[in-house]
Amino acid sequence: MKVRGTGRGRRLGLTRDKVIDAALTAIDRDGPDSFSLRKLAGELGVEVMSLYNHVPNKDALLDGVAEVLLGGVDLSGADTGTWQERVRAYAAAFRAAALRHPKAFTLVLTRPTQSPAALDSIRCALAGFPELGLSPQELVHVVRSFAGFTVGMIMRELGSAITVGTVDPDQVQRRVDEMVAVGDPLLSAAAPFLAVSDHQAEFDHGIELLIAGLAARVGVPYDGGARGARS
């Protein structure tokens, strides 16, 4: 027997889109770990069972939120320019979307999805390298390498991955002192740089390493990086 809601949600004009939007707002505010259907129902002023008229369960709702976020990634700049410029635009678009939703965007990075938005994103990435004449298998390897770096760096920036660096200048010297105290010369030499997290610089540097490496692998010129490409 299918359990139905009380009908109050329907009287209030509740729809699947409104439920997902409300869930996104709550997760943006409190984070996914604090999210529950009971809390969401309370904020919407309905019984929990009313939500089941629009989403079958919590996982489906979180999938819906991830799809909305993924659909909001602006990939318009990832289909123009050279392949190197497209890679930069694609990676930058994902990072920008993540920084707009720093708590909720982890759902995009950690939940597998076959949604239309996900498949559009994958197709856009696969279409970014026509000049290189890659085989389908090599193309997938390349896309997954760039995607793995992008996801990892975004999760690190959002606080979902371990890092010894900090963006708090008041904590930098403490981190340096802790690493120097270990007594390892290599760690001590690197400590002033390990102690600092410059997410923008590290993201850009890593993307350029991947682009330069791919250019060298396929035997085409590297354009010198984002700054070199603009000059």
pLDDT single digits (tens) 108-152: 988 877 788 888 899 999 999 999 999 999 999 999 999 999 999
Whole-number Å distance between alpha carbons of 218 and 139: 12
pLDDT of residue 77: 85
pLDDT tens track for 159-217: 876 677 777 788 888 889 998 999 999 999 999 888 888 889 999 999 999 999 999 99
Whole-number Å distance between alpha carbons of 83 and 77: 11
- Cβ proximity of 62 and 40 under 8 Å: no
Q: How many CB atoms are located within 10 Å of the residue 201 CB?
A: 10
pLDDT of residue 164: 76
Contacts of 24 (CB under 8 A, 6+ apart): 65, 68, 69, 101, 104
